[in-house]
Structure 1
Amino acid sequence: MLTQFTKNIETNFSFLKGKKLLIACSGGLDSVVLTHLVKNLSFEMALAHCNFSLRGKESDADEMFVIGLAKNLEIPVFAETFDTQKFAKEHKISTQMAARELRYGWFMEILKNFKYDYLLTAHHLDDDLETFFINLSRGTGLSGFTGIPKKNNKIIRPLLDFSREEILQYAETNNLKWREDSSNQKTDYLRNKLRLEVLPKFKESSEPVLKNFQKTRHNLLASQNLIEDYLALVYNSVVTQAPDSYKINIPKIKDLPHTEALLYELLKSFGFTEWDDVSNLLEAQTGKQVFSKTHRLLKNRDELILTEINSENSKEEFLIYEEGITAPITLKIEPSKYIGETEKNLIYVASEKLKFPLKLRKWERGDTFQPFGMKGKKKLSKFFKDEKIPMHEKEKIWLLLSDGEIVWVVGHRMDDRFKVTDNSSKILKITWRP
């Protein structure tokens, strides 16, 4: 296997030559074999071990094993202990997800702080097959079947072409020692259930299962690359990118073949799961929207507008005194001897009509004001509709208020009641800097 591994590195990972490598080492069979293989190739390397405090003394014994392994191989080692269950509870995620976030977050810190170039993990061909079946059971697009990537930015997986059987044979032939994780024998998790119960029987049905899977994975990856090339060709014709949103032109995307499949490929990385609802937006009325945990997709006339969900507290208010404010937006307040032309980012108001401190907040349903040049009041919702301001833009709009009354819909229209008149004794210039 060492010969095959060496050839794999030379062919697929030649860029690793001369680089500092960090190996994620649990102490289990796979990571121990990876450690020895890399050591045989004389790379500058170190081990990184996570103690997730989930198996008591067993977890501590794993840590001591990895530290001993590094000492025997005369290479550096990093070890860190995490309160995984506490982290999971605080962030309201599963223990598995918590361990993953803690693990990779810490690995990336080591890469940065100690100038290592790449992180190597010991994922292998059987892991890839398990992932294929997990994605199959959960529902996925083509990308979910293309397998674990061999390279993902700083993360390298050089054992993906090797089976667990090959790895075990190498370990036994070279009299390597490793740790067995007792939790791997529990079938509480889907991956373990597949590994222990489903895939062994599946492999019995056909001897070259793993080899055929490799071929299938290669073909699916080629198909995925073809799709990505097609997306690159049509992207600019259907998508307009703004600093804080993406706009998909509905008539143009509907003119292209396989519209729903194209829509899925454009949006799959934003966490949407209700794909029927997403595709129904193409024919929905303006204002209809679909949410993922992180993003919103809004139908606005002939566009689908994708924006990130704003986690800021929209109810928060900010007091503004005579000198102005610099956060969350910048408003500069200064005396003026004359009235200039009102623009999008500045207004002139009668000082005596203001009552300090002013307030700054986001708009709320039911808000009304008297648009400059009008005699009667108007609901902000009606004003936004008349101005053709889409929903995702409304939520970014700030209001400047004096004693509960709107002085300025910032960046759009001031209130007529605060305008400068011939009787005004003092003029204030208020400038907004986006």
Structure 2
Amino acid sequence: MNSAKCVIAISGGIDSVVLAHLCQKLNISFALAHCNFNLRGKESDADEEFVLDLADQLDVEVFIQNFDTETYAKENKCSIQMAARELRYDWFSELAQQLNFDYILTAHHADDNLETFLINFTRSTGLNGLTGIPALNDNIARPLLPFSREGIETFAKAENISWREDSSNTSRKYLRNKLRHEVVPILKEINPQLIDSFQSTLQHLNDTADIVEESLNAVAKRAIERIDENYVTFKVSEFKKVNNPKAYLFEMFKDYGFSEWNDVVNLLEAETGKYVASNTHKLTKHREFLILTELCHSGQSEESLFVAKDNPSVKTPIGILYFDDQDSFEDNSKTTIFADAEKLKYPLQVRKWQTGDIFYPLGLKGKKKVSKYLKDEKLTPIEKENTWVLTSENKIVWVVGRRADERFKVSDQTNQILKIELKA
């Protein structure tokens, strides 16, 4: 890292100040980046002044950013702590990208790691929530993770390093502070070597996590049938083969917001069409498959588009529809149909199919519900949901990309032929 260009996230507290001094001792090229969240009035401004003075002392470049944290928290409906975190990391990332810093250094240490472990432990979490803060996550590096808060303070005093004390660190209203001041001291009283024991436990947990990931990747490789732009299809049979399907389903789908894991497991034996939804995704049973989609690609949409007469094309979510007068016609295909232009009443409408839609499939006698047609075509739920129709006075001209309607076909009496083509 000595040849890398780094930016240190510095608050003015002991941890980040020590990190800055260590980087200077190691001749690492670095700048300082300080966030003033404007939450503690004059104290926040004094922190900013301290960082500016420290930059002068260390003879390094410094960047200061002021935030209206309370307004951001209200607008985004999140806690002050979460708002500060989002603002901080978004700015660090932007800074690193614009000025070509190789790494963003933060001063998280072993006690921070323990507190994070305990926070996750008190909540619902899997193995990954108990493996600690990563030492390196993309371009965010945490070089002080092996060191305890006590060790950092001992070093700072030995080197006569000055720092700022954040008064909010003594407040018990935050969970992290309650753990820091009330729970961790008791644990250290029980085991004076708590931090060393914890570091060892983390190593064992991370080793186990590697084994889990290897096994998960093997199952995923066998289970994933297809990866499409809008969905991923998994074989149900591969989940049934493992000893603990629920554990594999949890690990495979935990990042998609699902929480009702018994319902997810029940999908393995459910009928086609059953699904479980989170705030962002949907997992649907379709025959012998589970289909994962984003909610923005699911559900019937009210969206529709209108096509005026003589309009040569219209862009739709499934491609571009082209309309062109012809002197002759060919056989219809899935992507091209020929219609009797005089039977069309403008404006035409392009919309998603709706429950209750009927049409007269070209070449067949009588009418058919679009829902029954799509079922008979053995389409997946995602293909059904992304099916659009072209209509004239709400009569279906074409189930787009699938079947034209008998009522609008070209016949011996046709005087004007319209070619309608779908291109991706």
Q: Where does structure 1 lack aligned partners over 5 or more consecutive residues?
A: 1-15
Q: In 1, Cα distance between the equivalents of 2:305 and 2:105?
A: 48
Q: How does 1:102-251 map to 2 (within 5 A)?
A: 102-243=87-228, 244-251=230-237
Q: In 1, Cα distance between the equivalents of 2:77 and 2:389?
A: 34
Q: In 2, Cα distance between the equivalents of 1:71 and 1:381?
A: 72
Partner letter of residue 318 of structure 1? L
Secondary structure of 2:216's counterpart equals: helix
Secondary structure of 1:407's counterpart equals: strand
- Residue matched to 2:415: 425
Equivalent residue for 2:66, pick from 69, 74, 81: 81
Partner letter of residue 241 of structure 1? R
Residues 187 and 399 (structure 1), Cα distance of their counterparts in 2 relative to 1, 3 Å cut: farther
Q: In 2, Cα distance between the equivalents of 1:311 and 1:47?
A: 43
- Offset of residue 165 of structure 1: 0.8
Partner letter of residue 8 of structure 2? I
Secondary structure of 1:61's counterpart equals: helix
Q: In 2, Cα distance between the equivalents of 1:231 and 1:120?
A: 31
Answer with 120-129 or 81-90: which moved more.
81-90
Partner letter of residue 194 of structure 1? L
- Offset of residue 217 of structure 1: 0.5
Residues 353 and 100 (structure 1), Cα distance of their counterparts in 2 relative to 1, 3 Å cut: farther
Partner letter of residue 306 of structure 2? L
Q: How does 1:219-368 map to 2 (within 5 A)?
A: 219-243=204-228, 244-310=230-296, 314-321=301-308, 322-328=311-317, 329-368=319-358
Task: Say yes or no: does 1:47 pair with 2:47.
Answer: no
Aligned length in residues: 419
Q: In 2, Cα distance between the equivalents of 1:206 and 1:180?
A: 28
Structure 1 consecutive aligned stretches of length 4 or more whose deviation exceeds 3 Å = 374-377
- Offset of residue 249 of structure 1: 0.9
Q: In 2, Cα distance between the equivalents of 1:348 and 1:85?
A: 60
Q: In 1, Cα distance between the equivalents of 2:118 and 2:44?
A: 29
- Offset of residue 360 of structure 1: 2.3
Q: TM-score, normalised by structure 2?
A: 0.93
- Residue matched to 1:373: 363
Overall identity of the aligned pairs, in %:
49
Q: Is the 8 A contact 2:224 2:232 kept in 1?
A: yes
Q: Is the 8 A contact 2:361 2:406 kept in 1?
A: yes
Q: In 1, Cα distance between the equivalents of 2:40 and 2:355?
A: 52
- Residue matched to 2:376: 386
Q: Is the 8 A contact 2:2 2:27 kept in 1?
A: no
Q: In 2, Cα distance between the equivalents of 1:64 and 1:399?
A: 64
Residues 17 and 428 (structure 1), Cα distance of their counterparts in 2 relative to 1, 3 Å cut: farther
Secondary structure of 2:342's counterpart equals: helix
Residues 69 and 362 (structure 1), Cα distance of their counterparts in 2 relative to 1, 3 Å cut: farther
Partner letter of residue 255 of structure 1? K
Partner letter of residue 392 of structure 1? I
- Residue matched to 2:79: 94
- Offset of residue 95 of structure 1: 2.7
Could you report, residue by residue, the CA deviation over 1:349-392 in whole angstroms, capped at 9, with x for unpaired residues?
22122233322222333333332233433332222222222322
Partner letter of residue 99 of structure 1? A
Q: How does 1:63-74 map to 2 (within 5 A)?
A: 63-74=48-59
* RMSD, aligned α-carbons: 1.9
Residues 200 and 432 (structure 1), Cα distance of their counterparts in 2 relative to 1, 3 Å cut: same
Q: In 2, Cα distance between the equivalents of 1:307 and 1:332?
A: 29
- Offset of residue 327 of structure 1: 4.6
Residues 55 and 373 (structure 1), Cα distance of their counterparts in 2 relative to 1, 3 Å cut: farther
Residues 319 and 212 (structure 1), Cα distance of their counterparts in 2 relative to 1, 3 Å cut: same
Answer with 146-155 or 324-333: which moved more.
324-333
Q: In 1, Cα distance between the equivalents of 2:48 and 2:385?
A: 50
Partner letter of residue 317 of structure 1? S
Partner letter of residue 319 of structure 1? F
Q: In 1, Cα distance between the equivalents of 2:38 and 2:307?
A: 49
- Residue matched to 1:8: none
Q: Where does structure 2 lack aligned partners over 5 or more consecutive residues?
A: none
Partner letter of residue 377 of structure 1? K
- Residue matched to 1:403: 393
Q: In 2, Cα distance between the equivalents of 1:210 and 1:333?
A: 72
Residues 99 and 355 (structure 1), Cα distance of their counterparts in 2 relative to 1, 3 Å cut: farther
